[in-house]
Amino acid sequence: MEALSIEGTAKTPSVKFDGQEGVIEIKGRSIPENSIEFYKPLVEWLEQYSGSPMDLTQVNVQLEYFNTSSSKCILDVFKKLEAIHKGKSEVIINWYYEEDDEDMLEAGEDYESIIRVPFKMIEIVE
Amino acid sequence: MSFDINEYYSRLNGGDVLMAFKGSISSELISNVLEVVESKMDEYSESSKIRKKVYNVLVESLQNLYHHIEVLPDEMQKMFDDKFGILVVSRQDDKYKISTGNFIGQDKVDVLRNKIDKINSMTREELKDMYKFILNHQRLSEKGGGGLGLVDIARKTGNQLDYTFEKFDDTYYFFNLDVFIDL
């Protein structure tokens, strides 16, 4: 299936979803006033991908900031991944956070406690 | 005498003010404010931990305004811009202060007051549980607000949310919220 690629802006993250490689990346800032619009194509892409996923899907989430409006949409993305993980294929979510950013680590742990997919917390050391 | 917005606004302008604004709270305005405050924090050589906290809390404060500002009746629209709100970001010796203000219908005052009082009474653990519950169970509104903003602010700052409701006229109050981020 076709890859999904979106350039980042001051308020929205860059997105690279590659179905052939089974690699999904969200990076940057996610602080739009209305996040539903932005995340809709991401959720739709995953919906399609879940029909024939790779044996292993690696998910890299490396956000500098995200607002509470995005937090629900990110959960929707993770719920799609959870559905894939429940099937025959494996999903791993790599959650990146900067070394002194306890809030971002805690946000990752919040998701980890809600979503039944293995998380790997990865500290970025400058 | 009704509540005097200008007097209140000038009172907020104490300390080291990074940004003060009153007027229409638009998406563009939010982008501009974030950019200005971010570069000012660079000038203060704030640690990245503080910069992130202030930025995060500022985003939520502004977007709370953006999502919840009410459409004012005609006679008030002559006095105030559409989507009227107030924002002051200042830095004191040991903390940042983010003040926001907006009109709120009298009928909504009690609900908001109860919500903030409840948040202020909660422990860190309780706030975390409440955040996760709302995250997992409440849908986003059409405008994109999710009812998580104040809980998130309380969690990230670890401080009480200070607020006042000043009576403006028979149907409107002016809601002021002060949020503190310790240095």
pLDDT digits (tens, 9 = 90+) for A1-11: 899 999 999 99
**Domain residue limits, chain B:** 5-107+162-182
- pTM equals 0.92
Pairing of strands A119-124, B84-91: unpaired
The pLDDT score that the predictor gives to residue B145 is 59
- Structure-model confidence comparison of residues A114 and B139, the more confident one: A114
* Other Cβ atoms within 10 Å of B90 Cβ, number: 18
Residue with tokens 């169970």: B137
Report chain B residues touching chain A, CB-CB < 8 A: 27, 30-31, 34-35, 47-49, 52-53, 55-56, 59-60, 63, 66-67, 128, 131-132, 135-136, 138-140, 143-146, 148-149, 152, 156
- Choose which CATH entry (3.40.50.1110, 3.90.550.10, 3.20.20.80, 3.30.750.24) describes domain A4-124: 3.30.750.24
ipTM of this model? 0.93
The pLDDT score that the predictor gives to residue B23 is 93
pLDDT digits (tens, 9 = 90+) for A77-109: 999 999 999 998 999 999 999 998 999 999 999
Backbone φ, ψ for residue B172 (5° rounding) = -120, 145
The pLDDT score that the predictor gives to residue B26 is 94
Q: CATH classification of B5-107+162-182 is 3.30.565, yes or no?
A: yes
**Domain residue limits, chain A:** 4-124
